[in-house]
Structure 1
Amino acid sequence: MTVVVKIGGAKAVDPAGAVADVADLVETGEPVAVVHGGSTAVDDLLDRLDIDPTYVETPDGVVGRFTDEATMEAFTMAMGKVNTDLVAAFRAAGVDAVGLSGVDGGLLTGARKSAVRVVEDGKKKIKRGDHSGRIESVNAGLLESLLGEGYTPVAGPPMLADDGVAVNTDADRAAAAVAGALGARLVVLTDVAGVYADPDDPSTLIDSVTTPAEYDALTDAAEGFMTKKVMAATEALESGASEVVVADANADAPVTDALGDGGTHIHASALENT
């Protein structure tokens, strides 16, 4: 079964371990597709360009960067560099990696969100001028063709909006869409060991989620950046992924560890009747 590995873009995530581990898996014949983020690279470039990013909070409590036109230009440049650097690292490790953006081959497509609902000063508002979108379709055939020929796809945002414009999309949700389209296991690598019942206490790691009650406890526990990862896990399972694991990118052999008993394992059975 194909494994989709999402490598986070946070500053605390070192991709070297994941690169080496994916190389080992590919060498044994395991088909792997990689999806990457790039939040730190985008922030760093915005800083160098003297562009102040705007962060907004949705009515659901999710905080994210607002992507205006200038931010979108910086986002495209930064994500292109992250993709190139990752592909080079994979190839140096012996992986026949192919870099893709969500625009290439119409890999990730969907509706553009020209306006978003936000909460400012406790009030719900509409903020216009956004360059982001929601993925509605994945060109799974493109990925399957590459995997079938022995290549390892390495993909990331932007996506292609329905008006023909490249726009931002969340990398966790991009990985979820890819995993769902491929019917794959999804490993989401981040800078913590998984989802904690108490977000401030690593000893409260939730190791397995198999029932609706356990799923409710998981969503209640997820805070901050973990909210988006649990949301992405839900979307992946709803769209066809067989399992989602949220795990530590900085562990020894992080992907192999996650495919074993490391991290938080979320199973499709957890979404029954939810």
Structure 2
Amino acid sequence: MTVVVKIGGARAVEPKGALADVAALVAEGTDVVVVHGGSTAVDDALERMGIEPEYVETPSGVVGRFTDVETMDVFKMAMAGRVNTDLVTGLQNEGCDAVGLSGVDGGLLTGPRKSAVRVLEDGKKKIRRGDHSGSIQSVNGDLLETLLDGGYTPVASPPMLADDGVAVNTDADRASAAVAAELDATLVSLTDVAGVYRDPDDPSTVINDVDTPDAYEELKSAAEGFMGRKVMAATEALEGGAARVVIADANAESPIRSALDGGGTHITSGAIE
């Protein structure tokens, strides 16, 4: 079995438990690929430099970072120089041989660059230009398989390599989905909540199983803000061939194994047929 673990970059996510779980799974013979975000680290770095982080909402309600040239420089520094190195160090300390990668390394994540993005501002749809982001079209699965076959655990993150040869931002949730689809893997997306809630303010309303189209429609209706992006990524992973997707709590005890054993929100291919 291959498991792709997405470790979220929210401030409330503490990765230590997830890293210990990755090491335990690898020791048991499971192939694991880690994909991570870094929104908090990027925001903190921007603020230290006196730059205000900017998030925009798409007409479909998905919230994401607007990445201009200046932000892109800070993004590369924070993701590779801090977050990726910290996660690789943590895995090494758990006895797991890890290799840090960006989506640019070996052409791991490639695709077209967006010339503009559609956003919703004050209830009106607008076009914003100058965004340095792209859509993943291809994943270098051979590179990941080579590392896994050699006993290494890949730890990957944006940026990706755009088709014009420039490193650009891409969403880490969708990056993890693309990797899971390429490897026909189970995707465990760890975040700062216990799953998708029917009532966003009530953790007791977590949606456990999403395996029919009706359940999927309920899931989409319940997912708001950043969770909408995770549900979109889950859909892309399953459509691409991933075995299943679990959205679960990064701070739970043994968070990955807990998710694989039934914790969190489980989405299977029957939901999107």
Query: Do these two structures clear the TM 0.5 threshold for a shared fold by scoring above it?
Result: yes
2:84 corresponds to 1:79: no
Higher strand share: 1
Please give the alpha-carbon distance, in whole angstroms, between the structure 2 residues aligned to 1:212 and 1:125. 32
Please give the alpha-carbon distance, in whole angstroms, between the structure 2 residues aligned to 1:117 and 1:111. 16
Q: Deviations 1:169-189 (Å, cap 9, x if unpaired)?
A: 000000000000000000000
TM-superposed CA distance for 1:114, in Å, is 2.2
| Amino acid aligned to 1:217 | E
Please give the alpha-carbon distance, in whole angstroms, between the structure 2 residues aligned to 1:207 and 1:120. 34
Which stretch has the larger CA shift, 110-119 or 130-139? 110-119
Indicate the residue corresponding to 1:216 in structure 2: 217
Indicate the residue corresponding to 2:271 in structure 1: 270
Which stretch has the larger CA shift, 150-159 or 46-55? 46-55
TM-superposed CA distance for 1:253, in Å, is 0.3
Indicate the residue corresponding to 1:190 in structure 2: 191
TM-superposed CA distance for 1:36, in Å, is 0.3
Please give the alpha-carbon distance, in whole angstroms, between the structure 1 residues aligned to 2:65 and 2:271. 30
Q: Deviations 1:180-222 (Å, cap 9, x if unpaired)?
A: 0000000000000001111111111111111111111110111
| Amino acid aligned to 2:143 | L
Q: Deviations 1:63-89 (Å, cap 9, x if unpaired)?
A: 222100000000000001210111011
What secondary structure is seen at the aligned counterpart in 2 of 1:144?
helix
Please give the alpha-carbon distance, in whole angstroms, between the structure 1 residues aligned to 2:177 and 2:271. 16
Indicate the residue corresponding to 1:161 in structure 2: 162
| Amino acid aligned to 1:192 | V
Q: Deviations 1:43-97 (Å, cap 9, x if unpaired)?
A: 0000011111222111111122210000000000000121011101100110010
Please give the alpha-carbon distance, in whole angstroms, between the structure 1 residues aligned to 2:165 and 2:229. 26
| Amino acid aligned to 1:36 | H
2:236 corresponds to 1:235: yes
Please give the alpha-carbon distance, in whole angstroms, between the structure 2 residues aligned to 1:196 and 1:55. 23
Indicate the residue corresponding to 2:153 in structure 1: 152
The two structures have a TM-score, normalised by structure 1, of: 0.98
Indicate the residue corresponding to 1:61 in structure 2: 61
Please give the alpha-carbon distance, in whole angstroms, between the structure 1 residues aligned to 2:93 and 2:121. 46
Please give the alpha-carbon distance, in whole angstroms, between the structure 2 residues aligned to 1:185 and 1:63. 25
Indicate the residue corresponding to 1:49 in structure 2: 49
Q: Deviations 1:145-170 (Å, cap 9, x if unpaired)?
A: 11111110000000000000000000
What secondary structure is seen at the aligned counterpart in 2 of 1:12?
coil
| Structure 1: tracts of 5 or more residues without a match | none
Please give the alpha-carbon distance, in whole angstroms, between the structure 2 residues aligned to 1:114 and 1:69. 13
TM-superposed CA distance for 1:121, in Å, is 2.0
Please give the alpha-carbon distance, in whole angstroms, between the structure 1 residues aligned to 2:227 and 2:6. 14
| Amino acid aligned to 1:119 | L
Structure 1 runs of 4+ with >4 Å offset:
none
What secondary structure is seen at the aligned counterpart in 2 of 1:26?
helix
Aligned-residue identity in percent: 72
| Amino acid aligned to 1:10 | A
| 8 Å CA contact 2:102, 2:159 repeated in 1 | yes
| Structure 2: tracts of 5 or more residues without a match | none
Indicate the residue corresponding to 1:176 in structure 2: 177
Count matched residues. 272
Indicate the residue corresponding to 2:138 in structure 1: 137
CA RMSD of aligned residues (A): 0.7
| Amino acid aligned to 1:40 | T
Please give the alpha-carbon distance, in whole angstroms, between the structure 1 residues aligned to 2:56 and 2:4. 29
TM-superposed CA distance for 1:98, in Å, is 0.4
| Amino acid aligned to 1:159 | M
The two structures have a TM-score, normalised by structure 2, of: 0.98
Indicate the residue corresponding to 2:26 in structure 1: 26
